[in-house]
Structure 1
Amino acid sequence: MIRILASTTALALLALPAMAQPTNMQPTRDVSVTYRMNSPPGAGGGAAAPQELRMAFSASTGRQRVDPPGGMGWMLIDRRANTAVMVMDAQRAIMAMPPATVAAMTQGVPAGASFTRQGTATVAGTTCTEWNMTAPQGSGTSCITEDGVLLRASATPPGGTATMVMEATQVTYGPVDAARLTVPEGYSTMQMPTAPSR
């Protein structure tokens, strides 16, 4: 469960938003966005059902909440402190993400990336600029607003054909409840599980 949540969140935060080079690389004002995620077909060839991911960002604090599909937990990223924790309400516990994972989620433009600016589009009633990107880590496209909100993105791994698409279905500007960007009191701290040695 933990690995699934971490990998889903990392893909949404790392691979997708990093695939553009607009003026703003993160929102400049408070915003909440609901995304529809379409994953590539599974091993049997059938298309997976779309899933929902929600994101909330506070420009004044630099804190970002991501609720991946499945309701297994949520991620709290503090961009100013360069930290990220996974919050599991059912277990009343938190788990700190490793420094490398945090850096990947908060990094800017991937090394060796090249960009091509395309036209503009309207997603969820909001205008954004489209960009194509190629890099050693893969290729992709993204549509980002002038104030740094990712509205649509796709990512394809190197040499691969599988593509994941994420598109906003609702964008709401306005203050984010501070309680949604705070770990509840009394939660215990869990250690990130390590792979068994061989």
Structure 2
Amino acid sequence: MLRFLTSTAALALVALPAIAQPANLQPTRDVTVTYRVNGAAATGGAPGAAAAPQEMRMAFSASTGKQRMDPPGGIGWMLIDRRANTAVMVMDAQRATMAMPPATAAAMTQGVPAGATFTRKGTATVAGTSCVEWDVAVAQGRGTSCITEDGVLLRATTTPPNGTPTTVMEATQVSYGQVDPARLSIPTGYTAMQMPGGAPGAPAGAPPAR
């Protein structure tokens, strides 16, 4: 789950500022989006992984800059704070949280990747919503993303070197309207966990005894 959350969040958040210039760099109003995620992307490309598309949900608050991402499986979710440059994985079943390392959080909240170039292609309609398509090139490869004029990512397609373009994620439903602040807050009483390999003596992969 962690690999999927971090890679997908980086795609949705890092790509957005890079390709939206000079338009909005992030959504300008509260929005909730349901995405269909390519099966290989959802499993991190693991050998033998099921290729069936899966569902991911995203909610963004324009007033706070906080974003929630619920990946397939329902075993946890990610709370990303673009203004504080933080990202926290929340596991409700364990009533626990795990803060992402600064470098991982930065990959989800940073602006334009160094050396990124983009070219406007035209317009499209995804999930009944108009968006502008951009070709993007970065050191790791290139891709195409469709972004609304108010900064919502609706579709992302990647093209690896000498590879075939693959749609990584595509919106199936877009809903504008205030996001419940409770959905963008960590519940009280949750235990903070250490990342595996963290501080000496810290539990790796499980909350400390309570």
Q: Normalized against structure 2, the TM-score is what?
A: 0.83
SS of corresponding position for 2:107: helix
Structure 1 vs Structure 2: percent identity of aligned residues?
73
Structure 1 equivalent of residue 149 of structure 2: 146
2:129 maps to 1:130 = no
Contact kept, 8 Å, 1:32 with 1:55, in 2: the verdict is yes
Larger deviation, residues 59-68 vs 153-162: 153-162
| CA spacing shift, 1:19–1:68, aligned 2, 3 Å | farther
Structure 2 equivalent of residue 88 of structure 1: 91
Structure 1 equivalent of residue 73 of structure 2: 70
Instruction: Give me the CA root mean square deviation.
Output: 2.3
Task: Give how far 1:116 is off.
Answer: 1.1
1:38-86 deviations in whole A, cap 9, x for unaligned? 1448746x97000111000000111100001111200001111111100
| CA spacing shift, 1:20–1:95, aligned 2, 3 Å | same
| CA spacing shift, 1:8–1:120, aligned 2, 3 Å | closer
Contact kept, 8 Å, 2:76 with 2:91, in 1: the verdict is yes
Could you tell me which runs of 5 or more consecutive residues in structure 1 were left unpaired when the two chains were aligned.
none
The 5 A counterparts of 1:1-198 are 1-14=1-14, 16-17=15-16, 20-22=19-21, 23-40=23-40, 43=47, 48-158=51-161, 160-161=163-164, 163-194=166-197
How many angstroms apart in 2 are the aligned matches of 1:180 and 1:188?
Answer: 18
Could you tell me which runs of 5 or more consecutive residues in structure 2 were left unpaired when the two chains were aligned.
199-210
**Aligned residues, how many?**
193
Contact kept, 8 Å, 1:92 with 1:187, in 2: the verdict is yes
Contact kept, 8 Å, 1:123 with 1:169, in 2: the verdict is yes
Contact kept, 8 Å, 1:19 with 1:132, in 2: the verdict is no
Task: Give how far 1:17 is off.
Answer: 3.1
Relative contact order higher in (CA < 8 Å, ≥ 6 apart):
1
How many angstroms apart in 2 are the aligned matches of 1:130 and 1:3?
Answer: 27
| CA spacing shift, 1:47–1:95, aligned 2, 3 Å | closer
How many angstroms apart in 1 are the aligned matches of 2:146 and 2:165?
Answer: 19
